[in-house]
Structure 1
Amino acid sequence: MEEIKNVNLTQLKPFKNHPFSVNFDKDFIELMKSIDKEGVIVPLLARPNPNGEGYELISGHRRKMVCEELGIEEIPVVIREMNDEQAIIAMVDINLMQREKIKLSEKAFALKMKLEAMSRQGQRSDLTSGQVDQKLKNRDVKTYEIEIEKKDNEELVFRNSEKTTNSYSSRKELAMQIGESERQIQRYIRLTNLIPQILEMVDAERIAFTVAVELSYLKETEQYELYAVMDLEQCTPSLTQAHRMKMSSQSGNLDMDNIYCILEEEKPNQKEKIKIPADLLEEFFPENFTEKQKIGLIKKLVEEWYIEQNEIDIKLSKR
């Protein structure tokens, strides 16, 4: 059952544990221009708030924020009766389809939420993120697919379609839906075991995905010790070093001294590095500059300085 109605923004509550962030970026600006000119063309999607008054927003967090910025008080919303599992699956599916830029951390937590929701649909309460390999066998399981049409930077959600299968594996089904292998699904979900500080480094591409997966096996205290060493030494582990830390952790031998020893080992093709405290130059870079762009600019300026110095030396030698 569903209906479309105009809803005051104050009645729309954010989705619990929503894993996707809303960034004030180019796409946000373009959407703001569109809504300012045309209004909200495609209704948002919500369900009656299971925890109180108003509605829980399933899809449209970015449009809601745009309307808040523009001072729009009411917007059209599709109100649909959905249980927790259907709501989570719809929220994840719509965002994965709609968003062109998704952080690894966002994808990791989204896939974990969807996998757990799909598992609960199979009436297995014992399936946790640490048991994602278990299969649901020899029972009828209902799953739901969301039909979506993308239009004018917004998404239009139509209806749930139901299907039944006799032998069901949540992770296998999820892998088929998003076009990834089951093993890759497991790797993504491993990232949810990382502490926030290391996960931020993964999102900033300072730590590679494969390295991050290995580090996710470290205990929380070990990860904090590793982060402290990385921050102090301004370095990150290679895949081989991350794997060694994982093995040391599993054998109970990983401590800060051991982390230092592993990180001090010379990496292949490792060269001496000049370390510059980030806050020393931060004020001179645009806010949206990535680490790669900062390094590139520094390199360019040093090259220009080098050429200028050579020209000065040549002029002096001719005198």
Structure 2
Amino acid sequence: MASRVAGKIKLQSVDELLGVPEIAGTQEIEIGRIHAFPNHPFKVLDDEKMDTLVDSIRKNGILNPVIVRPDQSGNYEMISGHRRLHAARIVGLKKIPAIVKEMSDDEAIIKMVDANIQREEILPSEKAFAYKMKLDALKRTAGRPTKENACHNGTHLRSDQELALQVGDSARSIQRYVRLTELVPELLDYVDNKKIGLVMAVDLSYLDEQVQKWVYEYFKENGFLKPVQVEALKNYPNLSNVTQFSVISIMNDALPKKSKESKLSFSAKKLDKYFPPQYSTKERENIIIQLLEQWSADQVQSE
């Protein structure tokens, strides 16, 4: 628990979140003996932040030990520190300081998510798979009540409600993020790149995988995807039996139709000042056309 110091609240460190005592010693573990957490949802990117981390490790070493747990083969599974491990490999380190902690599979999932969800910038796809992994783990451990998952009246929170309290998102928001795990990778990348919003992405997640792929191809080729098109697909009966051509037709038909070509008209009163009163409507029209043709020819010559 965070302690109050001089009237201020001390934020919990990753070690405290993982339940590792501050006095816990570290071990120098060979990098080759540490493997990534299975289906680790947080991306390790060779970006500008990674370059900064590499420079820091090259100058100062690894200041905060990683957190690992022993596996059945005598090696170690990473819980917290995938980015530090990657940077250490780039620097060329052979060993890395680590705290070894025994934990069950579900405990490891929960601790891994807790340690990484604290990052400042989290992609929607990272949130999606992290929330799903932790929710599944919480559901499996729901039969073992703790003070964290019990209400004041003795009843237990739903897993999504419990997670909502822990991460600061609403249960509804968590459910939406978990739906993103049903998207094909190409559409999920568009969500990460902010080409598709969360609400539209959730709607797309209910479509069949093949239909999602066709929607992605349509988006990629045309450069747009409108909410009305997704709504049309969502409400189309028996969409599982359609062809790609049908999907394209449904999406195109859902777009607003262009309004009919507007007509240009002149009132007789406006034209009376230019024509003698005996000129018929047809005669006036012919003269106007002749004048326009002459005007158009003059424009061409002047170019």
What is the TM-score with the length of structure 2 in the denominator? 0.70
Are 1:210 and 1:239, in contact at CA under 8 Å, matched by a contact in 2? no
Displacement of 1:166 in angstroms is 4.0
Query: Is the aligned partner of 1:213 residue 2:202?
Result: yes
CA 1:111 to 1:249, structure 2 compared with 1: closer, same or farther past 3 Å?
Answer: farther
1:169 maps to 158
1:36 maps to 58
Are 2:229 and 2:252, in contact at CA under 8 Å, matched by a contact in 1? no
2:34 maps to 12
CA distance in 2, matches of 1:37, 1:111: 35
1:1-319 alignment, distance < 5 Å: 4-50=26-72, 52-97=73-118, 99-123=119-143, 141-142=145-146, 166-231=155-220, 233-248=221-236, 254-265=242-253, 267=255
Q: Report the residue type matching 1:120 in the other structure.
A: R
Deviations 1:30-76 (CA, angstroms, capped at 9, x unpaired): 111211111111110000014x2310001101111111111111111
CA distance in 2, matches of 1:66, 1:3: 22
- Return the index of the structure with the highest Cα Rg: 2
CA 1:38 to 1:239, structure 2 compared with 1: closer, same or farther past 3 Å?
Answer: same
- Find the residue that maps to 2:117 and give its secondary structure: helix
CA 1:66 to 1:251, structure 2 compared with 1: closer, same or farther past 3 Å?
Answer: closer
Are 1:43 and 1:76, in contact at CA under 8 Å, matched by a contact in 2? yes
Gaps of 5+ in 1: 124-139, 146-164, 271-316
CA distance in 2, matches of 1:48, 1:79: 7
- Find the residue that maps to 1:116 and give its secondary structure: helix
Displacement of 1:204 in angstroms is 1.6
Deviations 1:274-297 (CA, angstroms, capped at 9, x unpaired): xxxxxxxxxxxxxxxxxxxxxxxx
Deviations 1:223-242 (CA, angstroms, capped at 9, x unpaired): 122223333x3233222221
- Find the residue that maps to 2:236 and give its secondary structure: helix
Displacement of 1:25 in angstroms is 1.6
CA distance in 2, matches of 1:5, 1:116: 31
Are 2:232 and 2:251, in contact at CA under 8 Å, matched by a contact in 1? no
Larger strand percent: 1
CA 1:172 to 1:249, structure 2 compared with 1: closer, same or farther past 3 Å?
Answer: farther
Matched residue pairs, number?
233
- Find the residue that maps to 1:119 and give its secondary structure: helix
Q: Report the residue type matching 1:182 in the other structure.
A: A
CA distance in 1, matches of 2:229, 2:47: 36
Gaps of 5+ in 2: 1-19, 259-301
Percent of counterpart pairs with the same letter? 38
